[in-house]
Every structure is written in C-alpha cells, then in structure tokens.
Structure 1
Amino acid sequence: MRRMDHPAAAARNNAEWCRTMCRAHGHTTGAFGPRAWTHPVRTPPYYPDAVTLRPDASVRDVLPGIDRAAPGCSVKDSFAGLDLTADGFEVLFEARWIHRPADLPVPRPASPWQPVATPAELTAWEDAWSGGDDPMDLFPPALLADPATTVLAGRGQDGRIVAGAVLSHSDDVVGVSNLFGPDEEAWPGCLAAVAALRPGTPVVGYEHGDDLTTALRHGFTATGPLRVWLATG
C-alpha cells in the first residue's frame, strides 16, 4: 500500500478547496503547477493567492503567478519553507497540519449533522459561522452544486444552525475547514458526518492555538508546520 505523505495530502486538499471557492465566485484562472497552486486574480477574503504543494517549492514557484499589488494578497506556505520577507510579506500566523486516521472510533454527537441543501440554508449557515456579523456572501450557492464540497450544519433543539463545517473531498482524504460551534460538539458532529459520507477516509485540516489543542483531543495528530504570509504593501 502506498504510504501517504500527510502534510502533502493536506496541502493538496486545501489548495483544491481554495480553487473550488474561487470558481464558486466566478474566478477560473487559478493553476496547479508541480510545486504550487497560484491564482493571478485576488481571491475571496480569507483565502490565499497561492498554496505550496511540496517542500521544495521556491519563491519562483509562487510570486510570478499572483497579483502582489492587490490588497490582502497572501501565500499559504504549506511546509514553512519560504522566506518572503524581502518580497514585502510578513507572517500572518503559523499553524500545524492535522491528520486523523480512518480507523479511529467514530464519535457520537448530541445530534446528527446534515448537509446544507438550499441557498436559504447556506445563508443561515454563513450567518451562524460569522457570528451574526454583516452578511459577507462569502459562500456562494454554487458551492452546493460542487460534487467535491459538502457544507455541514448542526442544529439546536429549536432547529437553528449552531455548528457546522465545510468538507473538501479528495481521492485520499477529506479536508475540514470553517469548523464552528461549541468545542465538545463541533468535532464529534463533523467526524460522525465524515464517517457516514466517506467511510474509511482519513480527515485532514490545519489548526493553531486553542483550536489545535481541541483537535488533538479528538484524535488528530499534528503533522507538519505551515505559515501564512501577508503582503504588507
């Protein structure tokens, strides 16, 4: 059986999710190279303009393919191997890739999570994810038609969405992003849904700080480091 490179699989999955989000916003110009995914037009908020895919990625694999003049331009340095300081970037944050094997016991959440199915549900999901801040329209309805994406919602007793996550389905792993909800409900609900939708598939993502501690408590292992660089100009 082929041995999985956990950080590389997580980085590739994350880059595919970034491409999906860009396409949902009507941007189709992103490209996968041998060592990085790059997008020449500014990506949606919170999403990087480049993601490195291999530890040997260099500045030359990243910067020529992105719009460094656009406000908020950022690079996800998936192996913490780049130094972009001289190119006008600073480290926004550091994190760790996480990996949870498929053979661990499946948690039992307080209530089952279900995929979001309609644009109205997606709007309610984004409102819950954002904490009730002004509508951002960050998650377009086009995501609901993407076969590699599942938006999950956990509901309270009154039927309101109180927790959720986005699943990105790759060949070898399921990536989790945008997880929210009470600490002891969010991961159990998400992991139980993954086990039902993609049984026998490892789960990956990245976290830092208290969120990393919570993920480790739910069976994840911290694998390689990553950095996100933000243009300072």
Structure 2
Amino acid sequence: MIIDAVLDEAVRNNAAWCDTMCRAHGLPGTFGPRAWTAPRRTPLYYPDAVTLTEDADASDVLTGIDRSAPGASVKDSHARLDLAAEGFRLLFEAQWIHRPAGLPRPAVTADWRPVGSRAELAAWALAWSDGDADEAALFRPELLADPATTLIAGHAPDGSVLGGAVLTDSGTVTGISNLFTTPGTDPAAAWAGALSHLAPDRAAVGYESGDDLPPALAAGFATIGPLKVWLDA
C-alpha cells in the first residue's frame, strides 16, 4: 500500500536523524533488520532504539541498548509494542505526518536560511532551548559537516532568531524535526520557512503531537500513522 511505503520512509528518515545526532556525540548506532539501536546511552531527548518494521518485537530493541540505569527510551514507530512488562512506561504518543511533493508552499514571511557557522549554530540552539545552555549543547558543530543535515533559521530584521528546524535528507524524502518558534512568532511561519528549503520534487515527513500537530496539518501535511515512545522507569 502507498501509505505503508510512505510510513516506512518516514520511520527510516527519522531513525537516520537519530543516528546522525548520536554520531555527532561520538555514539554511533546500528541499523538492524527490524530496529536501530544504540549500545551506549544516547543524547538528551533522543531514543536508545527505534523500531523500523511493523513486526519488530521487544527483543529487537532491548537487546541492543544500555539499561544499566533508568532512563533508556524506545521509539515504537508503529505503536505496536507493549513494553510495560519490561519495566517501561508510556512517555508520549504522536502521529507521523507526510506532505507530498508538488503542493503549493506557504508564503515565507521572514528571512529563512541555512545555519552555516558555529556562531549561527550557537544562536539557533540557544533559541531552540529557550536560553538553556546545557540543552543548547545538544547541537554540536559536527552537524554542520553532515551532508544530509541542514539546520534552518528564521531571522528578524535585527538578526535575532525567530524560529528554526532541522531538515534530514534521506534520498527519497526530507524529514522536518526540532521545529520551533520563539515567543511571538506564529508556528505557521516556521513551517513555511522549513518547506521553502525543500527540493521541489521532495516530499516532507516527520511527526508531531498535541498542540504542535494542527499547524503542521495547516501547512499541508496529513497524518499517516501513530507512534509511541516508551521510557525505562
């Protein structure tokens, strides 16, 4: 089915971004037949395992991760696992989203451009983290050298960051993640800015939940399936 193929692209694109983030921290993961796993604990907010197929089971994600201390997480990409018996609790649920190539793009209302220097990355990360320097350190300069990763920032006339996003090119689709806006900026502006940097023939994928989902749908995305994230308590 077409939706199944699109979902598979979204899942693998997101797993590729997780692996890129981990590699930027010197923590490479492994792509197996049914799951991506990281043998050492991953950076803040990033999963220790991601299921890649509908038939992935608990052993596919748990045997390859570090559970020596609480806090490991699993992205159940098809919302099919029940990890409660393994000591996990459900952290949150979300919806995968997809925007076909060729749709008209929303109008861009600010200066949106790729982050190209360490100084620009530092400003982007501080805006993303709402000024928390420890969280901002998640985004390391190594990301600027990754050919599949582009960080996009929107700028006000005074040069301050209005919002941003991460674009991950996986060959068939572009993933949009870590989308944010600073206070007073409409999320629609961030979606427009991110979409303006996609190749014309490239579909966009990602996932959102709660209040962050409606702006994505308004930008032309549709939901294509649920996901769950589990946390080792």
What interval of TM-score do these two structures reach, taking the shorter chain for normalisation? over 0.9
- Post-superposition Cα deviations, 1:175-208, rounded to whole Å, max 9, x if no partner, equal 01100113121111111122xxx22100000001
State the SS of the aligned residue for 2:215: helix
- Residue type of the alignment partner of 1:165: A
Maintained 8 Å contact 1:42/1:49 = yes
| Residue equivalent to 2:71 | 72
Structure 2 unaligned spans of 5+:
none
Q: Partners in 2 of 1:202 and 1:23 — Cα distance?
A: 25
2:196 to 192, 196, 200: 192
CA contact (8 A) 2:102 2:200 kept: no
What is the alpha-carbon distance in structure 2 between the residues aligned to residue 138 and residue 213 of structure 1? 27
- CA 1:78/1:189 → structure 2, altered by over 3 Å: closer, same or farther? same
CA contact (8 A) 1:164 1:190 kept: yes
**1:1-233 pair list within 5 angstroms:** 5-28=5-28, 30-136=29-135, 137-181=137-181, 182-194=186-198, 198-232=199-233
RMSD of aligned Cα (Å): 1.3
How far 1:112 moved relative to its partner? 3.6
Do the aligned partners of 2:47 and 2:73 also contact (CA within 8 Å) in 1? Answer: yes
Report the Cα distance in structure 1 between the residues aligned to 2:163 and 2:147, rounded to whole angstroms: 22
Question: TM-score, normalization: structure 1?
Answer: 0.94
- State which drifts further: 128-137 or 48-57: 128-137
TM-score with structure 2 length normalisation? 0.94
The aligned amino acid for 1:37 is: W
Name segments (4+ residues, structure 1) moved above 6 Å. Answer: none
1:86-109 CA distance string (max 9 Å, x none): 101010000000000011101211
**Code of the aligned partner of 1:12:** R
Question: Which amino acid in structure 2 is aligned with residue 16 of structure 1?
Answer: A
For residue 18 of structure 1, report the CA deviation from its aligned partner: 0.5
- Which one-letter code corresponds to 1:107 in the other structure? P
Shift of 1:134: 3.2
Task: Quote the Cα distance in structure 2 between the aligned partners of 1:42 and 1:70.
Answer: 9
Matched AA of 2:159: G
Q: Distance in 2 between matches of 1:134 and 1:142?
A: 18
1:157 CA displacement: 1.3
Number of equivalent positions? 227
% of aligned pairs identical? 59
3-state secondary structure, aligned to 1:48 = coil
Does the Cα contact within 8 Å between 1:112 and 1:193 map onto a contact in 2?
Answer: no
